[in-house]
Structure 1
């Protein structure tokens, strides 16, 4: 990797204990806002966004829609541009400012706050959705259960909660850690350094960018959940699992699927 092993150990030990839940909901967005669109909204990702919007439009019903962790509007803006009223929640003022600076961004009402509380104007909603593994940004199981309950309360009867998330794969980690080279861009190297706690189901990562301009570090802290655990959270909130797919195109969900699109419905 071209870096001294002592450097890696020093930075890994600086990460807070995995069992702690003192996470700032805004931390991820505040750190990554300046590069988020460059990394995750590149032109080659637009077909995926279009398919996701198509999926959501067929399930929004009479609307409106609420996005949890709306960020820079990667999905909310094209969704709204196709005629759906969209409200967003995000903890990061810098991410919201990026959304506001885009065409149509000022037309989306955004609440700055912790989306576990799902306290947004404009409801009840025909659709609440959270994508790109963002639900796992909630620090612990209690916050995730609370989010499900608040989503259920925000939905109109017959409304749905849609989530895009990865299926956990704990064999990725060797002795509770993983170092991965993500990509090489010219003279720039993107690395991910992660620590895994299977008891709390927590992963703390640093996305590290090494280049001629120096070193950039972007923290990513998540608490993952298995699909069956998410279904139980839904049941506790009074929601019923209506659909589960392996992707936005409706690919069948199987034992080998690495991600899922899940749809829970509030009964009529």
Structure 2
């Protein structure tokens, strides 16, 4: 895999400022089910490595690699990538610093069995054009019959249950409050985190673009991908009217 030229303009500032504490504050409770879902899906596709779009600190990539799968990553943050490499097994996951929505290098075209963006990473691309580019990039990286997987909030759930302030369960017991604010005119939302860290309050803001499953399907179709499965979570439970987010699986037709 060739290294992309690193562009600091695409670097998420929170990823650099809080890379050393990210796992303590924001470790997802769905990690085990995410890994199990992706490992099972990898068995269904053609041979080839997996690619973690937005590999971060290795929350998903490292457990998958520990199962014997070949996993690579691409991430914009040197700090988050350094955290991944410092963990046990970190040297087994090859990470390229760069923008995962950018076109792949020629040698990376058509060689991945499974490409995924977990933990709301895809929605951090906060314009429709960036999301379209990401889907096109994913499609170009996949071998025929390969899959692309992402998770995202359902906009109806964001509108009815997603606004407001609530505490966040943290690994180390740190005090973290999240305030989520919807911006319907821009089809975006922001999550502001107030973290009490060693006696001082720290602020983290992350912007996202939300979308309906129908819009996502259309963008995927334009990229040459077709929907093969949509669930109400990484556990594989059905998508229902009470679901708050979805996991969508697309395939590059053979």
Same fold (TM over 0.5): yes
Is residue 94 from structure 1 mapped to residue 79 from structure 2 by the alignment?
yes
Question: For the Cα contact (< 8 Å) 2:62–2:90, is it kept in 1?
Answer: yes
Please give the alpha-carbon distance, in whole angstroms, between the structure 1 residues aligned to 2:198 and 2:130: 40
The CA RMSD measured in Å over matched residues stands at 2.5
1:71-121 deviation per Cα after TM superposition (whole angstroms, max 9, x unaligned):
011111111121211110111110000001011111211111111115366
Among 180, 191, 210, the residue aligned to 2:196: 210
Is residue 171 from structure 1 mapped to residue 156 from structure 2 by the alignment?
no
**Number of residue equivalences:** 242
Q: Which segment drifts farther, 50-59 or 30-39? A: 50-59
Please give the alpha-carbon distance, in whole angstroms, between the structure 1 residues aligned to 2:34 and 2:121: 15
Alignment CA distance shift 1:172-1:259 (3 Å): closer
Consecutive unaligned residues in structure 1, runs of 5 or more: 1-22
Please give the alpha-carbon distance, in whole angstroms, between the structure 1 residues aligned to 2:134 and 2:30: 28
Please give the alpha-carbon distance, in whole angstroms, between the structure 2 residues aligned to 1:150 and 1:184: 33
TM-score w.r.t. the length of structure 1 is: 0.81
> What SS does the aligned partner of 2:185 have?
coil
Please give the alpha-carbon distance, in whole angstroms, between the structure 2 residues aligned to 1:232 and 1:178: 31
Please give the alpha-carbon distance, in whole angstroms, between the structure 1 residues aligned to 2:60 and 2:166: 28
Aligned to 1:232: 218
Among 9, 15, 19, the residue aligned to 1:33: 19
Consecutive unaligned residues in structure 2, runs of 5 or more: 1-8
TM-score w.r.t. the length of structure 2 is: 0.85
CA shift, 1:34, in A, is 1.6
Q: Which segment drifts farther, 86-95 or 185-194? A: 185-194
Aligned to 1:189: 175
